[in-house]
Structure 1
Amino acid sequence: MRILFLAAAAACLSWTAAAQTPPAKRPAAAKKSAFDKKKVEDYVRHLLLWGPQITVAVSDPVPAPMPGGYSEVKVTGSYQKVSVDETFYLSADGSRLIRGAVYDMAVNPFAKDLAQIQTHGQPSLGPAGAPVLIAVYSDFQCGYCREEAKVLRDNLAQTYPKEVRLYFKDFPLDQIHPWARAASIAGKCIYRLNPDAFWEYHDWIFDKQAEFTPENLKEKIIAWVGAKKLDSVQFGRCFDSRATESEIDRNLAEGRALRVDSTPTLFVNGRKVPGSAPWPQLKAIIDWELDYGKRTGFTPESCCELKLPIPGS
């Protein structure tokens, strides 16, 4: 009798426990992402007047350098060989876009752009370690570039012999200047033969700019190379094989990443100066950077030089 009672009690408890156990919850449906690439693309196309002929690419979002749950989104518009990048910040719920820049006040505001300017293997003038670095993105067939080249060559070294280092960055506008790329390839070939000769070539090709055509460019450059007693055979091999073209393409990609969309465009310690800057304006910017460096200790190298760690340091 006791055994039957215990068995009945156990069955009762088992039934009660089963009755009190809540039903298993269904897995929650995956939350739909607030990020909608098509919606962002459509909005930006309308905002910036980017028509159907422009190809638009919207990046995946990454955490933004600002509080509030915002994400950073890059939107790139491309047409033929021209690309423009725009940065937006998207709210967590996907309802708000902020267009602009976010600055860390503990860092030089131009440090990010300055860090993108690669100087190794680029034609340069001025002392290494100068407190002001100028990079000019230029096109040998561009009239405004010719004017700016004269401003720089006539004034920079004479006024700032120890304070400024200038770098020339090829940025040929292929869609409107048919011989600019070939002139840049030639310039890089000459730089490989003799770095100092590059600047003679630079001055000569800008000075004679109106005389060149796509048909006569090679002939005239080869004659100049011979007159300067450079190795014509080695130059010819370099030019004909387009051996330096990849360097031109890297400069173009770098310039586009820096939002260069016209020539000339200068960067003075990372500060963008678009267009042909008259000497008084450029001098004022250089003086400002020199004063800033004295007050803060900032130099281009202190901004962007990368070193491997040394054991024990």
Structure 2
Amino acid sequence: MRIGRLARFLPIAAFCLAIVLIGSFAPIRLPWIGIVDAPGEDATAVDYDAIEAFLKKLTAKQPIVALTVIRQVEPSPFPGLQQVKFVVEMNGQRQNGLVYLSGTKIFLGQIFDLATQQNLTEQQSGEPQPVHYDIKDLDLADRVPRGKPGGKLVVVEFSDFQCPYCKQATKPIEALLKKYPHDVVIYYKHLPITQIHPMAYKMAMASECARSQKAEAFWSFHDRFFSDPPIRDAAQLREQIGQLAQQQGLETKRFLTCYDNAEQATRVEKDMADARKIGVNSTPTFLLNGEFVSGVQPLENFERYLKTK
């Protein structure tokens, strides 16, 4: 739609319709859209399923866990428009959005009151609410715990052995375990971002081949991968992990066979599937007692969960 077609609506009742992101849920990236044909045979029929399918198509490339249209039409602040709410779950948050309807047309955007300069769409959408996940729904059956299982704080970390921010995240986690050895347990889950970290998947498989022989060897590989200089070459990686396997008392030939044949790829893929299931798309990302938290966290952020339980 051209701006000229939209402009004729602007003077009505001192409201302004701006074509920008829906609601206040900034992580959603929608194409620039003004007016599109709305589903339904006439101006009064609303096909909620078609609206939902349309929104899902627009956001198909976003790491959205769920998008649901609320099946109820309401009057909007803009004269002549009705509105339908939808709910998006993404990045560990749940946020309301709004679709505006006029007959057989849909508006995607925000409504502002020019008199008060308030964003009326944002007001009705509300603040994002954190989503709490049940850690029992994740596949932790053979994840090797570090710390005290059954402690006050359960940390599930989605990480990548080549991620520089994940390396930074190891410091506050080490401090957390040292300060609260009986209150915290850490579970590591793989999310290698292979588009920018070409060795990350292989490193994940190596750590799992080590774990398959000796559980505690997983954390030895973990610590070395984050403490050693970055590895960019597959031959160098194979040499290093062979030496590390020997140092850990593993059967080196069996270990390298496991690595070369990608015998633990399925285990890595299970972790990646768990990441997709809850919308994790960056590393490091943590579940702290089930609450979704992205990025490197200072020690005090972890401590907050110990104090609130």
| Fold shared per TM-score above 0.5 | yes
TM-score by length of 1: 0.63
What are the superposed Cα offsets for residues 144-202 of structure 1, whole Å, 9 maximum, x if unpaired? 0011123212x122211111111011110111110000000000111111111211111
What is the root-mean-square deviation of aligned Cα atoms in Å?
2.5
What is the aligned partner in structure 2 of residue 61 from structure 1?
Answer: none
Q: Which runs of 5+ in 2 are unaligned?
A: 1-44, 75-82, 89-93, 96-129
Instruction: Pick from 145, 152, 160 the counterpart of residue 131 of structure 1.
Output: 152
Cα distance, 1:134 vs structure 2: 0.5
2:200 equivalent to 1:187: no
What is the DSSP-based 3-state SS (H/G/I as helix, E as strand, rest coil) of the residue aligned with 2:270? helix
Matches within 5 A, 1:1-313: 34-37=47-50, 39-43=51-55, 50=59, 56=60, 77=61, 83-91=63-71, 96-100=84-88, 101=94, 112-153=133-174, 155-288=175-308, 292=309
Amino acid at match of 1:96: V
Q: How many angstroms apart in 1 are the aligned matches of 2:234 and 2:138?
A: 30
Displacement of 1:112: 3.6
Change (3 A) 1:110 1:132: farther
For structure 1, the residue ranges without an aligned partner over 5 or more in a row are 1-31, 51-55, 57-76, 103-108, 293-313
- Percent of pairs with identical residues: 24
Aligned length: 218
Mark the CA change 1:176 to 1:41 in structure 2 (over 3 Å): closer, same or farther.
farther
Larger radius of gyration: 1
On the 8 A contact 1:190/1:235 being kept in 2, the answer is yes
Q: Relative to structure 1, is the Cα distance of residues 161 and 123 closer, same or farther in structure 2, using a 3 angstrom cutoff?
A: same
Q: Is the 8 A contact 1:130 1:165 kept in 2?
A: yes
Amino acid of the structure 2 residue aligned with 1:117: L
Tell me which amino acid in the other structure corresponds to 2:164: G
Alpha-carbon distance change, 209 to 245 in structure 1, aligned in 2, over 3 angstroms = farther
More helix by share: 1
Is the CA contact (8 Å cut-off) linking 1:140 and 1:209 kept in structure 2? no
Give 1 or 2: higher strand fraction.
2
Amino acid in structure 2 at the alignment position of 1:34: D
TM-score (norm 2): 0.64
**Is the CA contact (8 Å cut-off) linking 1:141 and 1:209 kept in structure 2?**
no
Displacement, 1:132? 1.7
C-alpha distance in 1 between matches for 2:132 and 2:297: 22
Please name the residue that 1:65 is paired with: none
